[in-house]
A and B are shown apart, each in its own frame.
Chain A
Amino acid sequence: ETGVTQTPRHLVMGMTNKKSLKCEQHLGHNAMYWYKQSAKKPLELMFVYNFKEQTENNSVPSRFSPECPNSSHLFLHLHTLQPEDSALYLCASSQEGGQPQHFGDGTRLSIL
């Protein structure tokens, strides 16, 4: 078990669809993160949650909507995405901010 589990692993959706990405961590951590990894671009931090409260929104478009119902679960709700949103979306968690982060295997998202 990796400790951080992301579902689905792959997702293909049209620009008008609504879908959600799920992340679950079994490490007892208090901070969770969403990152976007695109080809030939550095890893981009999207959102940070500490103790279920959002502490960082890195100028992410509103078509991405995060939700953190408890310290173990993190969602990314997707709506009206654009082709340039196709990427690998990675979830991570850490005990607290600034401490080593543990990553899931990501969701590979393709927008048609």
Chain B
Amino acid sequence: GEDVEQSLFLSVREGDSSVINCTYTDSSSTYLYWYKQEPGAGLQLLTYIFSNMDMKQDQRLTVLLNKKDKHLSLRIADTQTGDSAIYFCAESSGYSSASKIIFGSGTRLSIRP
């Protein structure tokens, strides 16, 4: 089946940029997503990108998509303590009732003072 992989941990210094990377296997992906999960909460949809785009910027967040290499990244500029969370990469293909989102295992981002 289709797979999404990401590293489990990332530690950055407060004020630096964080870059979380993800690879996926589905060559027919339609949407690619980044979700954020804070302790005790559900998954919050941070941003998503259509597969025909290669970049999307939203305030401190920049998503880059390399469709050829099936590589997705999330850059968080000026990382703050409130950015500490688990970040999930995900992808889906198609628009039918059978279409599902495939999630990675999540990257835990910790912030050093």
- Using a CB–CB cutoff of 8 Å, the interface residues on chain A facing chain B are 2, 4, 6, 31, 42-43, 45, 48, 50-51, 55-56, 90, 92, 96-106, 108
Contacts and interface: CB of A to CB of B under 8 A. Distances in A.
Interface of B: 30-31, 33, 35, 40-45, 48, 88, 92-101, 103-105
Main secondary structure, interface of B, reads loop
Given A42-B105, A98-B92, A106 B41 contact: yes
Nearest to B105: A42
B42 A104 contact: yes
Given A101-B101, A108-B40, 16 more contacts: A55-B97, A56-B98, A56-B100, A90-B42, A96-B95, A97-B96, A97-B100, A98-B92, A98-B100, A99-B31, A99-B95, A103-B35, A103-B42, A103-B43, A103-B44, A104-B42
A58 to B, nearest CB: 9
In the complex, the 5 A-B pairs of residues with the closest C-beta atoms, listed nearest first: A98-B99, A103-B42, A50-B97, A97-B99, A103-B43
